[in-house]
Amino acid sequence: MSSIGTKIAFYRKAKGMTQEELAEQLGVSAQAVSKWENDIACPDIQLLVPLAKIFDTTTDDLLSTELVASVRLLQEKPDMKELTLKVLVDSKDGDKVRINLPMELVKIAMEIGMKVPQVTKHLQLQNIDLEQIISIVESGVIGNLVEVESADGDNIRIVVE
């Protein structure tokens, strides 16, 4: 079971936002956001629609008791040595690209300036921000992080397990 506070924290971290940034967008204090995330208080009902828009979700999702099935929010910082970054590309032409990299290796690669296009030349992968993905994973969010269907029919998924 997941509280609205847990969901707010989950979505805020997934967006790479601070409590202060979320508070500013909603016109509330950072302390209010902290109280929501710690289940001390709940956001005003008038803030549910703006929250859902900021998080690219629905008010139903915010109010439901389940986390989005494709992602998980870990209670503690994950061990990057135990996680794998999977990039899955299925092109409309039938090509399949499968990249499986240890997250620790990805993190080291980013520290030395390596980017995804150096791993694969697939056009849709050129805009992937691995630093943001690392940040999201380090905050405890894992699972099916990105799923895109391009206009030309290619399907791309980024999963951390």
Report if residue 59 sits inside a domain. yes
What is the CATH classification number for the domain harbouring 57? 1.10.260.40
Split into its structural domains, the chain has a count of 2
- The CA distance from 7 to 141, in Å, is 12
Q: Are residues 51 and 108 in the same domain?
A: no
With left for phi above 0 and alpha for psi between -120 and 50, is residue 27 left, alpha or beta?
A: left
Report if residue 75 sits inside a domain. no
Compute the average pLDDT of residues 136-151: 77
Compute the average pLDDT of residues 25-30: 96
| Nearest of 87, 49, 72 to residue 140 by alpha carbon | 72
* Res 40 pLDDT > 90: yes
Q: Are residues 54 and 113 in the same domain?
A: no
Tell me the one-letter amino acid at 83: L
* Res 146 pLDDT > 80: no
Range of the domain at 97: 80-160
Q: Are residues 10 and 48 in the same domain?
A: yes
Q: Are residues 92 and 147 in the same domain?
A: yes
* Res 24 pLDDT > 90: yes
Task: Report yes or no: 18 and 37 within 8 Å, Cβ to Cβ.
Answer: no
* Res 41 pLDDT > 50: yes
Starting at the edge strand found earlier in the chain, the sheet holding 141-149 runs 71-73, 141-149, 155-160, 84-90, 96-102
Q: Are residues 96 and 35 in the same domain?
A: no
| pLDDT tens, position by position, 81-114 | 888 888 878 888 888 878 888 899 888 888 887 7
Report if residue 60 sits inside a domain. yes
Report if residue 74 sits inside a domain. no
Q: Are residues 92 and 20 in the same domain?
A: no
Note the pLDDT of residue 1.
45
Q: Are residues 88 and 120 in the same domain?
A: yes
Report if residue 156 sits inside a domain. yes
